[in-house]
Amino acid sequence: MRQFIRHPTDVPIEYSLSDVVNSESNYLHDISHGGLCFSAKKPMRVGSRIHIGIPIDKPTFEADGTVVWCRLAEGHYDVGVEFETPADEFSVRMVEQVCQIEHYRNEVHHHQGRSLTSEQAATEWISQNAASFPR
């Protein structure tokens, strides 16, 4: 069974490294029980502390973690982050669902021309997908 849930690349992620003053934005790839993977323009040192923000809902999901791997991948770097606390891990399932719902909302607008509120998208997505969403 897959450890990470594949996410669409239109889900934004913000991050800042403890040894770098500025922050950057990019896109989330995968998220799992204990961490996540995202793409970055520059390589990151394994062991670096990182602060993650996923601004798709209020309040923004934020967590601290550690870079556990960094791999060159076709013009960018895939970066693996492990969360620091059980509270962060506990929040992941909600973030996973919010990411999927936001993607669903964007897809419905793009393919069907329907503009859904986040609540309407959540209702539709849950009725269609909640039973098969990994636990």
Cα four-point dihedral sign 69, 25, 62, 107: negative
pLDDT 10s digits, 69-102: 999 988 889 899 888 776 665 566 666 777 778 8
Mean pLDDT computed over every residue of the chain = 76
CA 109 to chain CA centroid, Å, is 21
Rounded-to-integer distance, Cα 80 and Cα 69, Å:
5
pLDDT 10s digits, 95-122: 677 777 888 888 899 899 999 887 888 8
Check: CB of residue 6 under 8 Å from CB of residue 135.
Answer: no
Extents of the domains making up the chain: 5-84, 87-130
Residue, of 46 and 15, whose pLDDT is higher? 46
Fold type of domain 5-84: Thrombin, subunit H (2.40.10)
Q: What percent of the chain has pLDDT over 90?
A: 17
Instruction: Provide the pLDDT for residue 7.
Output: 47
